[in-house]
Amino acid sequence: MPMTMTGDVTLPAGRPKVWTLLNDPEVLKACIPGCESLEKSGHNGFAAVVKTKIGPVSATFKGKVELSDLVPLVGYTIKGEGEGGIAGFAKGGAKVSLADAPAGTLMHYDVEAHVGGKIAQLGARLIDGVAKNMADKFFASFAAIAAQGAAPTEAAASRPTAEAPAVEPRAPSAPSATAIPSKTSWFRRIWEWFMSLWR
């Protein structure tokens, strides 16, 4: 049974940060609902284990994911397939693209998937609802991680300004201020000796 889903989400981080997160297995694992493991496999591939429940059917899907058409900071195509035993199977792909947005980065995605077996008998409405719910949870978690990742960058950007007053160019003037009395004392001693010759 085919299933499609299209959407946009604005993430509170710049494109370089979002692109890095999209290619980080640990970040993706933390964001995918029910993901038990996600390990890099090959140059642009991942091996995944996801446990999910669709209506009365619970299943653990084991599969592989591969990235292609990678254009850094712009987007990529992701394809995957998984087997859930008697529950059935799922396979499909998504095109993900990034663009600058006033609040950070706009991510657009087009998903096309096919499910078969027992889960396909549950009906399109139920499957679509579960898929949308999983997508909402994924992007909520991803946006939260993107926001956390952006915070140190902003703090680092403001840190030089905050520390600038501590390193003032006038700091070296302290020794010269000490040197002036020394010169004055030396000059005063010469002056007093000179004046004593006239007494």
In three-state secondary structure terms, 108 is strand
State how far the Cα of 59 lies from the Cα of 57, in Å rounded to an integer.
6
The pLDDT assigned to 107 comes to: 93
CATH code at 2-160: 3.30.530.20
- 61-67: long-range pairs with CB below 8 Å, 24+: 61/90, 63/90, 63/91, 66/42, 67/23
Domain ranges of the chain: 2-160
Average pLDDT, integer, range 37-65: 87
| Chain segment 66-90, per-residue pLDDT in tens | 999 999 999 999 888 889 888 888 8
Split at pLDDT 50, 70, 90, the class of 54 is: confident
| Chain segment 158-167, per-residue pLDDT in tens | 334 333 333 3
CA 61-65-69 angle, to 5 degrees, is: 155
Sequence-distant (6+) residues with CB within 8 A of 25 are: 38, 39, 40, 46
* pLDDT above 70: residue 13: yes
| Chain segment 97-150, per-residue pLDDT in tens | 999 999 899 999 998 888 888 877 877 777 788 788 888 888 889 889 998 855
Mean pLDDT of the chain: 76
The pLDDT assigned to 175 comes to: 40
What is the pTM assigned to this prediction?
0.67
Q: Tell me how many helices (H) and strands (E) the chain has.
A: 4, 7
